[in-house]
Structure 1
Amino acid sequence: MAATSVAKTIGYYTVSEDERMGWTGGLLILNSSGRPLEFQCTLPVRPSKAHEILYGPTLRAHLIGEIIGELLIKKARTPLTLLCCDQAEALSLESIVDLPVVLVAEAAEPDEGPITEESLSGWQSVDFAGTHFWAAMEHVETVTEMAKTFGDIPDGVEPFDRIREAIKEAHSQIARQQTTPQSTSQVA
């Protein structure tokens, strides 16, 4: 009997913060050639003033790493073999998934603060699709092997742009729905 190989997939996860809309997360799952297999997007999350007060400076990490990320991972129907993120707060997802979670430092937004080797103590850089994926030491060998499997992916950063564009489109659809007058029907 021939052994069946499990399809390798790579997930890209990011969260966009919009002052008007709130926090929206997106998860794009690609095959080894970089083609989309699945996309999940949350509705905007708007923390209450009480949440902002109670969570204080940890609110961002809570939303990105615990609330939005966990929801998207659970909603995904396609099994993941690697999860890439562009926000250091998302690295905490490694505690809830049984797969490597890596940080694509080149994709991190500049206003989110610099990502330095000091902030990634216990992590190691792995060359992957023309970028550097920061992986936890215990996953470096696995991620290095996966880099060979995903050799057809031309750019390790670009999928984050796709997610952000899809989130912008979702926000514009929500805004259109909110401004469209509701039709009423009358029974004669």
Structure 2
Amino acid sequence: MPASTELTIGYFTVIFDDRTGWTGGLLVLNRGGRPVEFQCTLPVRPSRAHEILFGATLRDHLIGEVIGPMLIKKCRTPLSLVCCDQIEALVLGSTAGVPVALVTEAAEEEEGPIRSDMLVGATSVKLVNASLQVPIENAAAIEAIADRFVDLPDAVEPFERIREAIREAQSQIARAG
């Protein structure tokens, strides 16, 4: 576990698979991009009643209110910043006690282009090779954190590590079952 003064950056994403459901992953990196901690959930399969009751907001609920908070609560490493690639995860910034930023380049890959109307009250902060969309009121604090991650090799690639680790865990579960 890093010293309390060491900065860490958490990468959070959720993947959906028709067979298994919704699985979230949180990869915590040090300033050099090395893993400090990894957490993932078991697949979450909402019931048909949940699908009916939540309707079009089911994805928002699962990512921002169920899976994200669960992973951040399980995390043993103090987080300086959480980067996400799904706009639904931005709600974590108001409940997680840690600043949350959307990595624009990763979000465009996964969710389609980010429109300005989707991020009302947000501004852009640079993190290595990426742009973070952050709430205006948190921009200065997040910029100060991002400026200390100059040794981070890539600000987008960690999302692929999470997806690959989740796929590996799911294949191990399938082989054991």
2:77 is matched with: 78
Q: Which has the larger radius of gyration?
A: 1
1:66 is matched with: 65
Structure 1 stretch 111-120 or stretch 70-79: which is displaced more? 111-120
Distance 1:171 1:72, change over 3 A: same
The residue identity in structure 2 corresponding to 1:119 is M
* Distance across 1 between alignment mates of 2:86 and 2:147: 24
1:184 is matched with: none
The residue identity in structure 2 corresponding to 1:156 is A
Give ranges in structure 1 of 5+ residues lacking alignment: 179-188
- Per-residue deviation, 1:113: 3.8
1:104 is matched with: 103
Q: Moved runs in structure 1, 4+ residues, more than 6 A?
A: none
Contact kept, 8 Å, 2:9 with 2:81, in 1: the verdict is: yes
* Distance across 1 between alignment mates of 2:15 and 2:5: 32
Structure 1 stretch 117-126 or stretch 77-86: which is displaced more? 117-126
Deviation by residue 1:116-172 (Cα, 9 ceiling, x = unmatched): 122111000111111000111111111111122100002110000000000000110
The residue identity in structure 2 corresponding to 1:95 is S
The residue identity in structure 1 corresponding to 2:123 is Q
Normalising by structure 1, we get a TM-score of 0.89
Contact kept, 8 Å, 2:10 with 2:82, in 1: the verdict is: yes
Deviation by residue 1:2-59 (Cα, 9 ceiling, x = unmatched): xx97110000000000000100000000011111000000000011111111100000
Give the aligned length: 175
2:117 is matched with: 118
Give ranges in structure 2 of 5+ residues lacking alignment: none
The alignment status of 1:160 with 2:159, answered yes or no, reads yes
Secondary structure (helix, strand or coil) at the match of 1:84 reads strand
* Distance across 2 between alignment mates of 1:5 and 1:75: 17
Distance 1:111 1:104, change over 3 A: closer
Secondary structure (helix, strand or coil) at the match of 1:118 reads helix
Normalising by structure 2, we get a TM-score of 0.95
